[in-house]
């Protein structure tokens, strides 16, 4: 997939910004705070309807503006189909929420755009995937599977709603000091079992396949001989090859065993929201014993594996957004990664950095070539400015 052009209105540091992009590497360079990352964030909004940085949409609103708008022209090139352009537009108004348009037509749900414009983000925060808590790793898997399969995202959203409702019942009767009536709690329990078993089963299948993509990706970012692996920690004693019916039976049993504890605590204690992923290099558990360099390298490998996996499954190269991804890499690794971005293995990328010079020995930036350099400058009250180098 290729992003041909982008327009931002009242988005972060940008009052009104337009840019055209080359089909391969696009370097957005300039001083810190100029608005480079804002451009990547805006693209992420178009692809997944949310920021990869901020939890609230209001944070992306330019000060004093009643709305923000992001518009992009994408070219879909995968699946053996002829090239075709697709316009995407997202508008956010505080108090009214977000609206997403594809090809000029409004989508009924924001979730309906997920997977149609696949994207993968590399950022300094990727270290959290291996260094921080399990929620980061679950979100990583959810992001991949939601872009691959709309049905997975639907199940995930329905599961979260059912769990909230079940927790409300548990919390209400905890305050009363009573067990919740069966007619109130059982329907939500059964919905959790149905949806949760499908989510867990899909994660099991995904991680078995993902392992091969992770090995391939790790070889691109690190020459060490340790083999990267992923272990999936879910319901105790569950067979990795279990059918969805077997998973449902195991989940129902786990909920029954924790029923008393749930009544005491007022919340659901088992299910896919408690899943954990364990990353290893050889015998080394990365989260507990990995060095800073190993965390950083493994995080990059995970994101590159995400790209390879989605490209294989969707038959479309996701757009790569690399936010200051080279800041902590040495010159040799930077050059090797840039060679990968230039190659036919990877599609289009948008890369942010403070300087252009480190990229010039590897990437030939030309006005009409496959790679382009765009300078981003802070503009104060007038807003950030972005212009292509000649």
pTM of the model: 0.95
Asked whether 48 and 120 are in contact (CB, 8 A), the reply is no
Residue for token digits 């969805």?
Answer: 244
Beta bridge partners of 112: none
What per-residue confidence (pLDDT) applies to 83? 66
Query: Percent of the chain at pLDDT above 90?
Result: 87
Q: Looking up tokens 């503006």, which residue turns up? A: 65
CA distance 29 to 363: 14
Give the per-residue pLDDT at 154: 98
Calculate the alpha carbon distances from 265 to 28, 35, 139, 163, 297 in Å: 49, 45, 25, 14, 39
Q: What is the DSSP letter of 273?
A: G
Intervals of CATH 3.40.50.300 along the chain: 1-118+316-390
**Separation CA 57–CA 277 (nearest Å):** 29
Q: What is the pLDDT of residue 329?
A: 82
Question: What does the block give as tokens for 106?
Answer: 């409004």
- Domain 1-118+316-390 class, CATH top level: alpha beta
- Ordered per-residue pLDDT tens for the chain, 390 residues: 999 999 999 999 999 999 999 999 999 999 999 999 999 999 999 999 999 998 899 999 999 999 999 999 999 877 655 567 789 999 999 999 999 999 999 999 999 999 999 999 999 889 999 999 999 999 999 999 999 999 999 999 999 999 999 999 999 999 999 999 999 999 999 999 999 999 999 999 999 999 999 999 999 998 878 899 999 999 988 999 999 999 999 999 999 999 999 999 999 999 999 999 999 999 999 999 999 999 999 999 999 999 999 999 999 999 999 999 988 888 888 899 999 999 989 999 999 999 999 999 999 998 889 999 999 999 888 899 999 986
- Between strands 349-353 and 319-323, the pairing is parallel
What is the model's pLDDT at position 379? 84
Delimit the CATH 1.20.1050.90 region(s) of the chain. Answer: 125-313
State residue 328's pLDDT score. Answer: 80
One DSSP character per residue, 224-235 reads --PPEEEEEE-S
Ramachandran angles phi, psi of 86, nearest 5° = -135, 125
Q: Which CATH number fits domain 125-313: 1.20.1050.90, 2.10.50.10, 3.30.470.20, 1.10.238.10?
A: 1.20.1050.90
Nearest-5° Cα angle at 112, 106 to 115: 125
pLDDT, tens digit, 9 for 90 and up, residues 155-200: 999 999 999 999 999 999 999 999 999 999 999 999 999 999 999 9
């Amino acid at each position: 997939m290729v992003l041909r052009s982008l327009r931002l209105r009242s988005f972060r540091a940008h009052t009104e910004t337009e840019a055209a992009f080359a089909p391969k590497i696009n370097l957005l360079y300039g001083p810190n705070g100029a608005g480079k990352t804002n451009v990547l964030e805006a693209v992420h909004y178009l692809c997944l309807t949310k920021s990869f940085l901020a939890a609230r949409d209001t944070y992306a609103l330019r000060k004093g503006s009643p709305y923000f708008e992001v518009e992009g022209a994408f070219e879909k090139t995968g699946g053996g189909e002829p090239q075709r352009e697709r316009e995407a537009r997202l508008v956010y108004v505080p108090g009214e929420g977000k609206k997403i348009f594809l090809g000029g037509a409004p989508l009924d749900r924001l979730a309906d755009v997920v997977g149609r414009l696949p994207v993968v983000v590399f950022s300094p925060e990727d270290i959290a995937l291996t260094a921080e808590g399990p929620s980061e790793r679950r979100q990583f898997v959810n992001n991949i599977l939601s872009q691959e399969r709309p049905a997975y995202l639907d199940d995930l959203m329905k599961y979260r709603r059912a769990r909230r409702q079940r927790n409300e019942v548990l919390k209400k009767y905890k305050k009363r000091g009573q067990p919740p009536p069966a007619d109130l709690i059982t329907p939500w329990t059964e919905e959790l079992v149905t949806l949760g078993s499908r989510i867990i089963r899909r994660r099991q299948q995904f991680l078995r396949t993902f392992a091969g993509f992770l090995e391939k990706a790790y070889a691109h970012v690190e020459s060490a001989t340790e083999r990267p692996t992923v272990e999936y920690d879910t319901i105790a004693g569950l067979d990795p090859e279990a059918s969805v019916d077997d998973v449902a039976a195991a989940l129902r049993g786990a909920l029954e065993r924790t029923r008393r504890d749930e009544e005491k605590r007022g919340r659901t204690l088992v299910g896919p929201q408690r899943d954990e992923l364990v990353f290893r290099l050889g015998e080394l558990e990365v989260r507990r014993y990995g060095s800073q360099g190993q965390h950083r390298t493994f995080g990059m490998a995970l994101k590159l594996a995400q790209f390879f996996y989605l490209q294989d499954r969707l038959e479309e190269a996701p757009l790569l957004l690399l936010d200051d991804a080279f800041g902590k890499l040495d010159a040799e690794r930077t050059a090797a990664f840039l060679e990968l971005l230039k190659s036919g293995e990877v599609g289009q990328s948008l890369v942010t950095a403070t300087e252009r010079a480190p990229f010039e020995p590897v990437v030939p930036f030309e006005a009409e070539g496959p790679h382009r350099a765009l300078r981003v400058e802070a503009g104060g009250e007038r807003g950030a400015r972005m212009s292509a180098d000649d």
